[in-house]
A = this chain, B = another copy of it.
Amino acid sequence: MPDPTQRGNGINRGPAAAAANRRAILAAARSLFAERGYHVPLNAIARRAGVGQGVLYRHFPTRLDLALTVFDENFNELEAIAASGDSATFEHLWRRLVDLTIEVSAFIEMAVDARGRLAAYDGTQRLRELLTEPLGAAHEAGLVPASLTVDEVLLTLRMVYGVVTTSPADRVREHVSGSLRLVGWTPDERAPR
């Protein structure tokens, strides 16, 4: 009788393993997207996950499905931060968004890919929703200017993407700080304009 906690041993372990496989695939994809970019071969992901090629296709029919799910998990994390609900939440969220942007440059490649294929996808909607309440709280606490909108926050994030992608690897954070200063965010205080 096979050990269900053991994966990738070539034994069909039945439906019970499906959830574990899914998690393993997502973890593998996350790390490989970060290491080798969005276009990393799918079989490398399957290999690192310890599953067969077929399983990967069962769970995620296209590369885009896989990538969207990986990045969805980031949204889950961000939503958890947003739910904490004090006035510093917005700052935490922003900090985490910038870090994710720096870490996962694969996201931008996915976005390019998705633009052509997934007209319906507007990943920003979810971001918009999770930012609304924390930004309101920050407004009330006087931590950000009253005029700052959610859309401007998102736009700034996309500007950060541009800077991240075009910076030499060893100067990314320095350039990001410079660009945030340009829009009037002093990175130390994270107090916009």
Q: Does A161 have its Cβ within 8 Å of any Cβ on chain B?
A: yes
Would A155 and B161 count as touching, CB distance under 8 A?
Answer: no
Also in contact, A112 and B165, with CB within 8 A (given A159-B159, A175-B155): yes
Would B168 and A155 count as touching, CB distance under 8 A?
Answer: no
Q: How far is the CA of A37 from the CA of B179 in the complex (A)?
A: 26
- Near B by CB (< 8 A), chain A positions 178-193 give 178-179, 182-184
Would B175 and A111 count as touching, CB distance under 8 A?
Answer: no
Would A115 and B155 count as touching, CB distance under 8 A?
Answer: no
Q: Which of A158, A160, A161, A164 has the most CB of B within 10 A?
A: A158
Would B168 and A115 count as touching, CB distance under 8 A?
Answer: yes
Would A151 and B178 count as touching, CB distance under 8 A?
Answer: yes
> Which residues from B are CB-within-8-Å of A164?
162
New A-B pairs, 6, CB < 8 Å, besides A152-B182, A159-B179: A111-B166, A115-B169, A152-B178, A155-B178, A162-B164, A182-B183
